[in-house]
Structure 1
Amino acid sequence: MSTTEQSDGLVVIVTGAGSGIGRAIAVELARAGQHVYAGVRDLDGRNTQRVQALREFAAAENVHLTPLELDVLSEPGCRSAIDVVLGDHGRIDVMVNNAGMLMAGVAEGFTPEQFLQILDTNAVSWLRVNRAVLPVMRRQGSGTLVYISSTSAHIAEPFMATYIASKAAGEFLAESMGLEVAPLGISTVIVVPGAFTEGTEHFAHSNPPADTAVVAQYGSLPDRAAQIPERLSAIDLANDGSAAQVETVGRALVEVLGKPRSEHPRRFVVDAQRKGVEEVDAVRAARQSDFFRQLGIDDLLTVAVPATTEEKK
């Protein structure tokens, strides 16, 4: 982190910041003194109330939290949003790719069009956003790309196939791009949250399979999916005595971004259900590191810090 970033606060953009984890991240980073732009689609339309709530929060707590028109499904829209922030600050330090959607139900019942829709939202949108912000970070020789993934991208579950596939696609896109931009001084942080049954609209706004005739042929099996949120809450209560809170993701990211880019973890997990994703990832990371050494590209696992950049001590 440069001295300018440290003294003035990071300039951060968070996509999908109108509700849930995105809003929690935007709020916690703003409270930590960063200049946060909360990306929301259709500011003056269907999301007017969410935008007003963000503005009221910023005024009440005297923090830098600015709603930003940002449609991750539009490449021109992504670039326009980046231009707005550049016009205000002349730089972008952190890009948080959070916007996403949920589909839940028997996989066979989802149409190919539905699958393409969730892939577009949960994975392709990350490429759109990165194509807009990476030219800025490359010129700066610094920056951090943050992605909100899911533990389900590491441990598969039934009734979540399209969502899991989209999150896994996004996560490995993020990791591979991270290897390519690390020599340019750009760090990658993949956040791996568990499930949240409170504080997010994921379950309430989940998209069901469109082919109901196919779903009907599975008998009572699809009914078991409806029991999952309640059982997730029960696991949370057994582990921590309360339901998982989305604010924990924001607070954890505040701590990570307070470190120098060279010390950013490639992944970190925030999982009240304690599925053990960290153990799975440790094995994979060790095998990757060994393979990269044989290929002669293990240097790409480390973020380069240009000599002209003074890191926070």
Structure 2
Amino acid sequence: MSGNVRQVVLVTGASSGFGRLTVEALARRGHQVFAALRDVGGRGAKAAAELTALAAAERLDLRIVELDVTDQASADKAVETVMEAAGRLDVVVNNAGGIFPGPLEAFTAEEAQRQFDVNVFGALRVARAALPQLRQQGQGVLIQVGSISSRVTIPYSGLYAASKAALGSLTEAWHHELAPFGVESVIVDAAPYPTNIGNNAVLPADAARFTAYGEGFGSFVGELTGRQTENPGDPTAVSDAIVALVEMPAGKRPLRTVVAPPAQREAVESLNAHAAETARIVGADMGVSAFLVA
């Protein structure tokens, strides 16, 4: 543990990508980790088997729990399972998410709801399940996995960016509202890194409207993919940042952690600093400074 306090951690969306890297890294550092997977008996079975085998081979305290973030009862049951097994819950890492790329005009309102159902309402459901326990303990941490697109929206990512911006707003509200209970709320805003999120991307169902943007969308994807192929980046930078937040002393965790290439990180961090100062000024002018947490 390298001197760090052992934490009980629940990580959603742990089958692959940032979530998978995070549960493995935390478990290897001696934390008690619950890897939350959707549909453990079906599409999540392979990941569940792999993580179970890893835990046995390396003698890790890494366990599987079923959790579908689109179902409140499932989130409630997952937290109950953790409490029954560990007796407490210290950290919730909300990593579950998806992406609906494409021109906004081509998406129906129902498709937009599906994007928000996972990325935004999913976080609300998991938080509602966990927060009564964290408040009762008088300590705990909510860590959201966000995106720099919540700060800078590029074309053809409008739904995803909007959902991550909403997630950032929820995080900030929790940051202020939960502080009196000793509970922290923070977010990791990550740049695009090579994970399998693109493999599960959902394109617009309205083929006619999608086709109207076909040339522009195709060129955009080509340029973006080309740059990422040249400089793919290492997704463990994100899981390392999450691990660092888990292991930070209480009260020392920053509201926002940006994980991105240097130019992007510096630009977004500058924007975050201006936003924090703006919040201070607006809060003071509204007379609610006493309710804001730095």
The TM-score, its normalising length taken from structure 1, stands at 0.88
Query: Residue 142 of structure 1: CA displacement?
Result: 0.6
Cα distance between partner residues in 1 of 2:282 and 2:105? 36
Q: Which residue in 1 is equivalent to 2:32?
A: 35
Query: Residue 297 of structure 1: CA displacement?
Result: 2.9
Matches within 5 A, 1:140-155: 140-155=137-152
Q: Which residue in 1 is equivalent to 2:249?
A: 260
Cα distance between partner residues in 1 of 2:290 and 2:58? 44
Say whether residues 1:230 and 2:226 are aligned partners: yes
Q: Is the 8 A contact 1:145 1:188 kept in 2?
A: yes
2:215 is aligned, of 195, 214, 220, to 220
Say whether residues 1:283 and 2:274 are aligned partners: yes
Q: Kindly provide the amino acid, as one letter, of the partner of residue 280 in structure 1.
A: L
Cα distance between partner residues in 1 of 2:209 and 2:135? 48
Query: Residue 280 of structure 1: CA displacement?
Result: 0.7
Cα distance between partner residues in 1 of 2:283 and 2:221? 43
Cα distance between partner residues in 2 of 1:272 and 1:60? 35
- Deviation per CA, 1:179-227: give whole Å up to 9, x if none: 111111001110011001x2x2111221111111012223511212321
Cα distance between partner residues in 2 of 1:217 and 1:255? 45
Q: Which residue in 1 is equivalent to 2:261?
A: 272
Q: Kindly provide the amino acid, as one letter, of the partner of residue 182 in structure 1.
A: A
Q: Kindly provide the amino acid, as one letter, of the partner of residue 232 in structure 1.
A: Q
Say whether residues 1:96 and 2:96 are aligned partners: no
Q: Which residue in 1 is equivalent to 2:202?
A: 207
4+ aligned runs moved over 3 Å, structure 1: none
Cα distance between partner residues in 2 of 1:184 and 1:51? 34
The TM-score, its normalising length taken from structure 2, stands at 0.93
Q: Is the 8 A contact 1:209 1:215 kept in 2?
A: yes
Q: Kindly provide the amino acid, as one letter, of the partner of residue 192 in structure 2.
A: A
Q: Kindly provide the amino acid, as one letter, of the partner of residue 231 in structure 1.
A: R
Q: Which residue in 1 is equivalent to 2:172?
A: 175
Secondary structure of the corresponding residue to residue 265 of structure 1: coil
Cα distance between partner residues in 2 of 1:273 and 1:47? 35
Say whether residues 1:61 and 2:58 are aligned partners: yes
Q: Which residue in 2 is equivalent to 1:139?
A: 136
Say whether residues 1:248 and 2:245 are aligned partners: no
Q: Which residue in 2 is equivalent to 1:85?
A: 82
Cα distance between partner residues in 2 of 1:45 and 1:66? 17
Secondary structure of the corresponding residue to residue 72 of structure 1: coil
Q: Kindly provide the amino acid, as one letter, of the partner of residue 289 in structure 2.
A: I
Cα distance between partner residues in 2 of 1:300 and 1:147? 20
Q: Is the 8 A contact 2:98 2:115 kept in 1?
A: yes
Cα distance between partner residues in 2 of 1:54 and 1:298? 45
Q: Is the 8 A contact 1:105 1:225 kept in 2?
A: no
Query: Residue 253 of structure 1: CA displacement?
Result: 1.8
Secondary structure of the corresponding residue to residue 292 of structure 1: helix
Query: Residue 135 of structure 1: CA displacement?
Result: 0.4
Cα distance between partner residues in 2 of 1:123 and 1:79? 17
Structure 1, unpaired ranges of 5+: 237-242, 303-313
Higher relative contact order, structure no. (Cα contacts within 8 Å, ≥ 6 residues apart): 1
Query: Residue 298 of structure 1: CA displacement?
Result: 4.2
Query: Residue 284 of structure 1: CA displacement?
Result: 0.5
Q: Which residue in 1 is equivalent to 2:292?
A: 300
Identify which range, 44-53 or 222-231, moves more after superposition: 222-231
- Deviation per CA, 1:54-86: give whole Å up to 9, x if none: 112212222211111011110010000000000
Pair 112,65 (structure 1): closer, same or farther in 2 beyond 3 Å: same
Identity of aligned residues (%): 34
Structure 2, unpaired ranges of 5+: none
Query: Residue 273 of structure 1: CA displacement?
Result: 6.3
Q: CA RMSD, aligned part only?
A: 1.6
Aligned residues: 288
Say whether residues 1:129 and 2:118 are aligned partners: no
Secondary structure of the corresponding residue to residue 187 of structure 1: strand
Q: Kindly provide the amino acid, as one letter, of the partner of residue 70 in structure 2.
A: L
